[in-house]
Structure 1
Amino acid sequence: MVALQHFAGRWYLQIIRFLLLFSNIIPISLRVNLDMGKIVYSWVIRRDSKIPGTVVRSSTIPEQLGRISYLLTDKTGTLTQNEMVFKRLHLGTVAYSLDSMDEVQSHIFSVYTQQSQDPPAQKGPTLTTKVRRTMSSRVHEAVKAIALCHNVTPVYESNGVTDQAEAEKQYEDSCRVYQASSPDEVALVQWTESVGLTLVGRDQSSMQLRTPGDQILNFTILQIFPFTYESKRMGVIVRDESTGEITFYMKGADVVMAGIVQYNDWLEEECGNMAREGLRVLVVAKKSLAEEQYQDFEARYVQAKLSVHDRSLKVATVIESLEMEMELLCLTGVEDRLQADVRPTLETLRNAGIKVWMLTGDKLETATCTAKNAHLVTRNQDIHVFRLVTNRSEAHLELNAFRRKHDCALVISGDSLEVCLKYYEYEFMELACQCPAVVCCRCTPTQKAQIVRLLQERTGKLTCAVGDGGNDVSMIQESDCGVGVEGKEGKQASLAADFSITQFKHLGRLLMVHGRNSYKRSAALSQFVIHRSLCISTMQAVFSSVFYFASVPLYQGFLIIG
């Protein structure tokens, strides 16, 4: 316009004035408008009565919920209720289910009744007595190990005051509450109470158990090795105050315990059978220690903990020296039921084009059973179980076999996943992304985060991670949208996530309703701001042209700043 005036007069001032007049064409207020809109979207999500308890911890990404292509979810506590119910006790030759727990109770009662009486006068017990006594002692050792190997603390609530238990008889059973970081351990201790061996007291150095005859058994805690997601096991060394015996108890996942316990021919088979029923399986073992043997271990253990360099490695090495040739006592099976409306929620997400991946630390059979029950895998859908591979050639053959299958869900273990990602990362991710559903079992927290990162890099699409425990934090933080479920394993995942919900079924409304509406509203708001700027600039150009390209504003006041 200055050129049409032939640069007459103080033309450089005219250029500056026209730049100011047409600055509206740049929607500089778009960022502010979008930020204000996101605050409103977050407020609407928090005020939604259909998803009570939802917390928005990041108000900058609500519209990304409507663009999710991959949903990665944990199993325990996320898809399930994380309310464990003891279902099965397996001793190798005999198994006890819920309808036969009275037999376990009778075995426990007979053992402590016999101990309280004098030794029988007869020297030659019958064969039937020997068999019964042997089975009773086996059941007793298994229940005793379960009652001692844990991190559970009994707490008594009386008159509004909560006190640590001191194994005193005046405390009533109705006032006792078990507290632990894992619901699995609470379920196991509650079961031992139901069969007659009750945990009545615990502190940092001792535990007290009550027998069916109200006798208090005192145990000194010598060492405790807490559970970690990497080791997948926990152990405790206790001393029986009445006999002075030192025993090392350990429980953990079958994949790690198989190499620790003495050789047997039923562990792997029975673990698979229980896992196929959807039960969470733990292997319980023990090892009796002589006083000299424990003193030697304690000296090496203390020296390793005082080491300056490679302390963790040295401590683990010392502990592993004790984890050898342990006696296998039993298998425990605990059931974790699905949350309400998990099936319709997953079906809704699948119909919306969102691919769901389940990443769990459970056994392959347990994860597969849960995937079927939750309808993560439809009834008419085939399942390809990726067999265990240990080297590059085996991974190549298995990938070729999987490539020939179409429209089938993939189930893979963490060990096989590590080998495939090491040698055939691109090929594996290409095939996995074509699957309607993927189940990764025995996954470590590092592997969960790695899968999220690879999905983002290979597909370029948005991912959403859902979890409830501390092992899901890395996955949640790595994803584009992290959703934490407030569960019974603390609030680590909830506090680390962008959004916090109370139940998995709320995820459907969060993504399908609020995510989609936020995305559409942000798009409409962006179009409005841009078109408004274009309209104002166009009218200003027409106005200036009509009045001989005068640099006079059409709109006065604040409207000129957009």
Structure 2
Amino acid sequence: MGRGKPTQQDKTKLKYNAEAKNTLKSYGNNKIRTTRYRWYSFVLQNLHEQAQRVANFYCICIVVIQLFIESPISPASSVLPLLFVIFLTMFKEGYEDFLRHRADQENNHKPIEVVDETGALVTKRSFELVVGDIVLVCNGDTFPCDIVVLSSSESSGECFVTTASLDGETNLKRLYAPPITRELDNPSDIAKSLLATIVCQQPVQDIYEFTGQIIVSEIVTGTESTHSLNSECLLLRGARLHNTDFIYGCVVYTGHDTKMSLNTRKKKAKFSQVERKLNTFLLLYLLGLLLICVAYTVLKNLFKVRAWYIHSRKITPWYVTQDLLAFIVLFNHAVPISLYVTMELQKFIGSMFFGCDLELYDAEIDERALVNTSNILEEMGQIEYLFSDKTGTLTKNEMSFQRLAVADGTFLLRDSMLHPLYEVQATRLHDLRSPRFSGAGLSSTKMPMTVQILLIFLALCHTVRVEQDPDARHSLGITLMDYIKKQNRLKRRMKGGFKLMPSSKVAPPSKEWTYRRRESAILSAQEAVCAVNRGSEIDSGEDYEYQASSPDEKAFVEGCRDLGIIYHGQNKRQLQVVTLFGRRGLQYRLLDVLEFDANRKCMSIIVQPVLQGEDETPDYVPEKPALVLCKGADSSILAKSAPLESLPTLPEPMGDPLLDGLFAPSEEVQTRAALSNNRVCENVTKLASFGLRTLVEGVRLLRPAEWLPLQQELNKARTNMEDKAGALAKAYQSIERDLMLIGCTGVEDKLQDDVPETLIALRQAGIQIWVLTGDKEETAVNVSFLSGHFGPGLSTIHVTKQNNLLECSLTLQTQLNAVERTCQESIRLHYGLVVDGQSLNFALQATQKHKFLLLCREADAVLCCRLTPIQKAEVVRVVKHSRSPPPITCAIGDGANDVSMILEAHVGIGLFGKEGRQAARASDYVIGKFRFLKRTLLFHGCNFYWRTANVVLYFFYKNLVFVLAQAYFGVFSKFATQTAFSSLYLLSYNVIMTSSPIIIYGILEMPFPEEVLQDTPLIYTTLSRNRLLSWKNFFVWNAFGLWHSIVLFFGCYILATEGVSRPGGAIESLHGFGSMLFSFIFLVVTIKLILITYSLNALLLLTIGGTVLVTYTVLVLFSHVAIPVSGGRDLLGVWENLLRGPSAMINLFGHALLLVLALAPDIVYRVYVDSCRVLPASRGGSLRGSETGAKSGSAGRPLLPHSISKRETRPTSLAYSSTSC
């Protein structure tokens, strides 16, 4: 399939012929890239990003300044640490981007079968696909790009796909090939017979919008025929083929032109809240540094003017500027450049620990947690808003038929048995798993007739197709599974990146495989009826494979099969076959199917029983009655129901369980089977209270010949070209009316393990949880209740189906007024807010945004349904900017439709999804299951934040002590730009002597035991909003730094005075004084680290001990060896003198005295904090008890080293309930 350039601004034209190949450059390729860097721009781009950091930019300026002035310190002390930081950061960023590149390569190199001009199948890599290629996609595969389906394994040209990774909907969607191409089901026919042009619109973002035409030319006659294309012909990249053996399709959009890519935002560099606060602290330090430098410059020049022994010198602006710059260079260690490299190392190693956590290992898929971005690890401990997808994130996409309610009561399906339920009053989630039911299940002979009727109804009312197990069937000596297994071997080979050989030894799939499986199922259905009539035992149906467009329908059919009512599909005469407990066979004519749509909220089938002695013909028999079987949402079915007193009856029994059980002349039977509207409402409420997806079932009796005019009206509506939708709605309405309500059912959308417990823990941790889904409202609300997102009994406010801005504004204002009234009455009620995508478009407009956010802020939980991927991202962005400082947001999802919100959130977490790994590649962190989120945030998040925040504070503290000592020395040196420390000390203080212990601390520190962090979510709330890096805490640390600098400098000064030291001794010398002061500072800041540590593990103690040993070994080395750098000879003999004679005693005494005096306030403060803020010693804490305080932990363990401010209390609000009944 070649292509030409777009003929119009809004059109794309594709031609299938060999000559058009020269126009391929008009379109983009199918290569997908999620990396941040390109190989040729990596160095410059990364340097540009690092230069944006305040400390890095400052140090670059310092290096530049040293090139133009007579620097008071060696340039090496500034250049080497800066280069070390830059190259280490570059290595880390490059490694992480390499992992993203490798994931992209794996996706781009997937093998795809393409039809070439000769009619052979050629294997291409995914990124080699171009617009116009004809591709083959088999059952279970994901579409590599946007494709127009040309033909499928079905003779009707239909195919079924799931788009859960795009819009969150789990139902199978039925798409159709154009009639003109649906017979082309093999490569040779496509190459020989297809000469076509596709004209379609330019790529647009809306995933439901597609228009175009396919113009097919007859090769023999040269005539052309045109057929329209719409969204029902377009297979989207990221969707998956199901229940269809194969399709052939034409590529129309590739790469970044696909709808998935158009709905995905580009990955940007993220910076954590800690780093932003760090930059604020740095700016404050820089301001203070500048003020000190200006003051010292002024004082230096004033002192020079007044001093009689200094030669008078004219003060010029350049001279003053040189002094100012010299002081800036002298005090440049106030800005902790090594803080960045320490944080980079800490996060890099911490990310490895996170990935190696066995508690986050998913054995089911054999995957560990992954870190794609280590820059924001600590942000996981600051989450205030969690935005979660529903489909595949909270749920497993597995439906289970759980309960049914009929006139004879409510029944539970468990272990292929039916159990009658007695009084069920509790509505908590765990009651769903352990309800009160009779010990033994009901046998088929004791099953009430009303239950049998409902089960027969469910076995018929659907669009399920039956196939035999494909592993047991062969076609042409080869099975479809053989072909798929061959392709899987091919995919594994493709990971090497080489091109594959064209063609394949295995024949391409054909419709023969589908035909044989269907034929096998048809024969089984025919044999089942014959066996029942003979009284023989029939097959249990376990080898049937039910192909359903809705997981609910599949759950119903499988549930009925487990209870003995088996749907066998169609027999040879195209009759629907159902067998009852292996004793009776039923046949029905399928007259029509009214598919489900969102407006009607129901689906129906029209069937006619084949009565005893009738001809087994599939055609309608006007002389006999028929049935309309309708199931759907309660709000829809109840409106279509008939009063009990007006229900029709039959003049005589007909021999069919549905007809006789519902409409027989006996009033006793009819009264027992039919349900009133109020009774149905009660049953729906009861089932919904368990979080089940509820459906109501109703039946209408069509008297003889009554179907004929209805059928004519329906056919006429289907061919109406002017107002097809309106005509169909009218026809459906005339059919789906006067229903007898026979029961309601509850299906469980199976949750992932421990989802309710995880949501409870996160909510108690102060995280507000929003569920954003593309699924329909009823399904989303049911899952919210089932998962615990909406608590038991929680009322709901629905801001849905708003048609214009004014209507939405009035709805929001009405709800806000109700909230304000309850605030005045001091009432605190709880509610969940439900918003759909249509209403959200109006609610997020500038005039309504404030009202919407106020209503959301008051809600216990928020559910947004029917959202597009871009709308998901927009919701996250609005919440991010809803206040100042902005709340920290986290988004979690598993599909391609979640990528945009994952990229928009501060922290993006992806799951290894069944529908693809687009979310995993785009996210910052990847885990296997939603339940791992609890450990990720409460344990790892808290620890990462605690460590990082204290590392930041510690670095500012230790550099402040060091620089203030230098500043005090400046006063005694008459403000000369003379350093108190050797250049060797300046170079080694941050890089060597104080770096290792704080790195180990930043990796291994655990302020609370593991089980305490996970069982006491309250701790998370005390750390949120960056409380450890509050201004109060920052100034407390600076106060300790100020105290330590004063004690150490002036204590050392006293010890070094002439009256204390030996005349001519080492302490009297400048380098002796500086060495002794350096030793004091090193020991104090090292011990300070011990005082802030709550987990003195062996590695930390060993690192501290080793650092002390190495430091003093190096100091002695400096005293004996001339280091080949500037100032390398200054320390020769200094430590030799300090460690012998009177200086040794002064040194030892001074160290002991000054260490005690300097650290005494720290010890007192630590004791005070530990005694005032402790966790109770009991181990009985649990999630439900955390609201009373932190209940588990060790006595004496501090909750926080500062006061705990209370969470914002929200005003009371009104809960508004919107129900169907």
TM-score (norm 2): 0.34
The offset of 1:479, in angstroms, is 3.7
Structure number with greater CO (CA < 8 Å, separation at least 6) is 1
Q: Is the 8 A contact 2:629 2:699 kept in 1?
A: yes
Equivalent residue for 1:462, pick from 872, 888, 911: 888
**How much has 1:319 moved relative to structure 2?**
5.8
| CA distance 1:174–1:248, change in 2 (3 Å) | same
CA distance in 1, matches of 2:642, 2:837: 25
8 Å contact from structure 2 (residues 889, 905) kept in 1: yes
* 1:161-190 residue CA offsets vs partner (Å, 9 max, x unmatched): 748643446899545555768653432231
Q: Distance in 2 between the 1:480 and 1:85 partners?
A: 36
Structure 2: distance between partners of 1:262 and 1:274: 20
SS in 2 for 1:188: helix
Candidates 172, 175, 193, aligned match of 2:561: 193
Bigger shift: residues 170-179 or 509-518: 170-179
C-alpha distance in structure 2 between counterparts of 1:351 and 1:80, whole Å: 22
- Report if the CA contact (8 A) 2:386-2:769 is conserved: yes
Map 1:295-444 to 2 at 5 A. 295-300=715-720, 320=729, 323-325=732-734, 326-327=736-737, 331-336=744-749, 340-342=753-755, 344-357=757-770, 361-362=777-778, 366=782, 370=786, 374=788, 377=791, 383=794, 385-386=796-797, 391-392=810-811, 394-395=814-815, 398-403=818-823, 404=825, 406-414=827-835, 418=839, 421=843, 426=850, 429-430=853-854, 432-434=856-858, 437-438=860-861, 440=863, 443-444=865-866
Change (3 A) 1:457 1:543: closer
Corresponding residue for residue 84 of structure 1 = 399
Q: Secondary structure at the match of 1:282?
A: strand
8 Å CA contact retained: 1:410, 1:439: no
1:143 equivalent in alignment to 2:485: no
C-alpha distance in structure 1 between counterparts of 2:451 and 2:759, whole Å: 46
Map of 2:376 onto structure 1 = 61
Task: Report what 1:120 is aligned to.
Answer: none
Q: Is the 8 A contact 1:107 1:140 kept in 2?
A: no
Deviating more after overlay: 468-477 vs 62-71:
468-477
**Superposition pairs for residues 17-36 of structure 1, below 5 Å?**
25-27=334-336, 33-36=342-345
* Runs of 5+ consecutive residues of structure 2 not aligned to the other structure: 1-68, 71-296, 302-312, 363-368, 421-440, 474-478, 482-512, 525-538, 609-615, 621-625, 644-675, 701-706, 801-806, 992-1221
Call closer, same or farther: CA 1:93–1:410 in 2, change over 3 Å. same
* Higher share of residues assigned strand: 1
Give the secondary-structure state (helix, strand or coil) at the position aligned to 1:44: helix
Per-residue CA shift, 1:414-447, capped at 9, x if unaligned?
Answer: 4799599588754564465356x3354x833368
Kindly state the Cα deviation for residue 40 of structure 1 after the two structures are TM-superposed.
Answer: 2.9
- Asked if structure 2 preserves the Cα contact closer than 8 Å seen for 1:104 and 1:195, the reply is no
Q: Secondary structure at the match of 2:983?
A: coil
Helix, strand or coil: the match of 1:503? coil
| Runs (5+) with no aligned partner, structure 1 | 109-131, 305-313
Computed over aligned residues only, the root mean square deviation of the Cα atoms, in angstroms, reads 5.8
Are positions 1:278 and 2:691 aligned together? yes
Amino acid across the alignment from 2:552? D
| 1:394-543 superposed matches below 5 A | 394-395=814-815, 398-403=818-823, 404=825, 406-414=827-835, 418=839, 421=843, 426=850, 429-430=853-854, 432-434=856-858, 437-438=860-861, 440=863, 443-445=865-867, 452-459=876-883, 460-467=886-893, 476=902, 478-485=904-911, 497-527=923-953, 530=956
Shift of 1:86: 1.3
Distance 1:548 1:397 in 2: 69
CA distance in 2, matches of 1:317, 1:366: 30
Q: Matched residues in 2 for 1:154 and 1:58: separation?
A: 47
- 1:225–1:236 contact (8 Å) kept in structure 2: yes
TM-score (norm 1): 0.65
Equivalent residues of 1:89, 1:96 under 8 A apart: yes
Q: Distance in 2 between matches of 1:104 and 1:172?
A: 16
Most deviating of 552-561 and 518-527: 552-561
Work out whether 1:41 is the aligned partner of 2:41. no
Partners of 2:876 and 2:443 in 1: CA distance: 46
How many residue pairs get aligned? The number is 512
Displacement, 1:41? 2.9
Q: Which residue of 2 aligns with 1:113?
A: none
Alignment of 1:243 with 2:611, yes or no, is no
Residues 234 and 251, structure 1, Cα contact 8 Å, conserved in 2: yes
Q: 1:135 to 1:522 in 2, by over 3 A?
A: closer
Residue matched to 1:554? 983
Report the CA distance shift for 1:262/1:474 in structure 2 as closer, same or farther (over 3 A). Answer: farther
Q: Please state how far the C-alpha of 1:538 moved relative to its aligned partner.
A: 6.6
Give the 3-state SS of the residue equivalent to 2:865 in structure 1: coil
The structure-2 alpha-carbon separation of the partners of 1:384 and 1:429, relative to structure 1 and needing over 3 Å to count, comes to farther
Query: In percent, how many aligned pairs have the same letter?
Result: 27
Distance 1:509 1:388, change over 3 A: closer
Shift of 1:47: 0.9
The alignment partner of 1:278 has SS state of coil
Letter in 2 for 1:274: L
What's the CA shift for 1:158? 4.7
Mapped partners of 2:975, 2:848: distance in 1: 70
Tell me the alpha carbon deviations over residues 500-548 of structure 1, each in whole angstroms, 9 at most, x when there is no partner: 4333332221111111122223324434555676677678886996996
Q: Which amino acid aligns with 1:184?
A: D
Counterpart Cα distance in 1 of 2:852 and 2:345: 42
Q: 8 Å contact 1:383–1:410 — kept in the other structure?
A: yes
- Distance in 2, matches of 1:472 and 1:250, equals 35
User: C-alpha separation between the residues in 2 aligned to 1:17 and 1:181?
Assistant: 76
SS of match in other structure, 2:358: coil
CA distance in 1, matches of 2:468, 2:377: 42
Distance change (3 Å), C-alpha of 1:431 and 1:161: closer
Q: Structure 1 pair 43/336, CA: closer, same or farther in 2 (3 Å)?
A: same
